[in-house]
Copies of this chain bind each other. A is one copy, B any other.
Amino acid sequence: MKHLSIGIFDSGVGGLTVLKELLSVLPKEHYLYLGDTARVPYGNRSPYVLRRYAFEDAIFLLTRGIKLLVVACNTSSAVSLRFLMKKLPVPVLGVIEPACRRAVSVTKKGKVGVIGTRATVESRSYEKTLKRIDKAITVFSKACPLFVPIVEEGLCEHDVAYLMAERYLGEIREKGIDVLILGCTHYPMLEHVIRDTMGGGIEIVNPGLELAREVRSILEKERLERENGRGAVKFFVTDDPQNFKRIGEAFLGHPIGDVRLVRNLFPS
């Protein structure tokens, strides 16, 4: 079991910011990464469709030998996690729960901000999870739909990023939060813009990092850690490996090698 991989899926390149944290916290593990680029984005799809997509993604990874599954996509974590936990024979972790535990543990004012895609914010998953952990927490959420295309278009340094950050974050800044959760895998790429716009004294929570720490503690507890050597990563996408590579390397922070195209993930 130890030598099996950690499976990780996302709708596209966003999950690479999560993989980046996993590689940093658990560099000895092997990883199988699936980006469902033929059906990206998951953000505005219905729960029925989302669960079907997530299940297909999970089965693809499972049949290739994994000891643990990471749902890197916030939308899938919000909508499909329980479904996957029930159906799969390996531990399944999403990005929401670890981030919420971290936010609750560091807030002093009990006021937490959450930003994400419209689907994530409307699902109220972060809000519900935060309140389940500590019902005294006040949550301020804001959807920032333009952040994803801004990141994917490489405009993280452009005026448009600051203009939209001001529009989206201005309101949440006034609420006196002291913790802000980046509830979308793309947003760590805009962390400098978000930090500048929010000003000092705000702890920013990157769910990918919290999830990576959680994966480490589960592997330790279950004695499932791979102990020697350097791990390898295999990348799979359902469409357009070149585009995934082109955009993805900035997300991962280093070059991406071979990306395999999977045509038969969803039969038709």
**Which residues of A are in contact with B by a Cβ distance under 8 Å?**
37-39, 44-46, 48-49, 52, 56, 145-146, 148-150, 152-153, 155, 158-160, 163-164, 167, 239-240, 243, 263, 266-268
Contact = CB atoms under 8 A, between A and B. Distances in A.
Nearest to A242: B46
A40 to B, nearest CB: 8
Nearest to A144: B153
Stoichiometry, as copies per complex, reads 2
A153 B146 contact: yes
Contact of A44 (B52, B167, B240, B263): B240
Contacts of A164: 160
Contacts of A39: 38-39
A56 B163 contact: no
Nearest to A40: B44
A267 B38 CA distance: 16
B56 A240 contact: no
Nearest to A12: B44
Contact of A38 (B45, B149, B240, B243): B45
Given A38-B49, A240-B46, A150 B159 contact: no
A146 B52 CA distance: 29
Contact of A49 (B145, B167, B239): B239
Contacts of A243: 44
B159 A163 contact: yes
Given A39-B39, A145-B152, 5 more contacts: A37-B44, A148-B149, A266-B266, A266-B268, A268-B268
A163 B146 CA distance: 14
A46 B267 contact: no
A149 B145 contact: yes
Contacts of A158: 167
Contacts of A268: 52, 56, 266-268
